[in-house]
Structure 1
Amino acid sequence: MQVFSSLDLQQKTGEIQRAVVREPVVVTSHGKPRSVMMSVEEYRRLKAIAGEPVPDEAIAPPRTRNAVTVRGIDDPLGYDVSDFDAAVRQMLDDVRSGSKRAAVQAELARVRKLFGRCRT
């Protein structure tokens, strides 16, 4: 079992997450064991052995085919991207009608300014 300090937890998050997939890890504070981190699979296994329910947060939502998840990013053109398919349909309608042409040009200018140095 690997042991990491609380400082390691702040500085080596990726390394610790990779270690946790292989086996539980101990996190220490001031040299004393304070917590154990484990994979969700291991947590579920232990809950099942104990006959305890698994909290909803530890159960992966069912994946749907071709699903797209958009997390907490506001669309600069004002589209509601929580329903991605509906947002794309609305965007296409707006492109056809030209109703957001000025907003699109302003957003393109902003993107070009941010990424103008990038070459493909």
Structure 2
Amino acid sequence: MQTIRSIHLQKNLGDVLKAADLEAVVVMNRDQPRAVMMSAEEFIRLKTAAGEAVPKEVRRSRPTLHQSPADPLAYDTRDPDYVLQLVEDALAGRHAQAIRSEVQAALRRWGMR
């Protein structure tokens, strides 16, 4: 877990936000933890796991997806939940070639290939 002093937060906000996408960042003020920054996805996961309501300001609207010839699956890859639909389709044997292509694209995007 990263820590940053509150005095440096404004100057380094972009870097802190990038770090918070990967793991929580503790903001220290006078050598005391003042706040914890985390990605919206992690916040949603924690609220959901605790059985608490997710504030509407944090929830993402789910766009209506339209299939196109370039993307026959039309998964919204901005939302990590698309993986669940991809897995469901793969297990059901739907869209095998398109799913292989989607997985390869995701691995490249995440720097895993």
TM-score (norm 2): 0.54
Please identify runs of 4+ aligned residues in structure 1 that moved more than 2 A: 62-65
Larger of the two Rg values belongs to structure = 1
Could you list the runs of 5+ residues in structure 2 that have no partner in the other structure? 66-113
Counterpart in the other structure of 2:47 = 47
1:60 equivalent in alignment to 2:91: no
Note the C-alpha offset of 1:64: 4.9
The RMSD of aligned alpha carbons is 1.6
3-state SS, counterpart of residue 53 of structure 2: coil
Could you list the runs of 5+ residues in structure 1 that have no partner in the other structure? 66-120
Note the C-alpha offset of 1:61: 1.8
After TM superposition, list the pairs within 5 Å mapping 1:1-120 onto structure 2. 1-64=1-64
Note the C-alpha offset of 1:63: 2.8
3-state SS, counterpart of residue 61 of structure 2: coil
Q: How many residues align?
A: 66
> What's the CA shift string for 1:3-48, capped at 9, x where partnerless?
0111121110000000000000100111111110110111011111
Identical pairs, percent: 45
Code of the aligned partner of 1:21: D
3-state SS, counterpart of residue 56 of structure 1: coil
In the alignment, the residues of structure 1 paired with residue 8 and residue 56 of structure 2 have an alpha-carbon distance, to the nearest angstrom, of 29
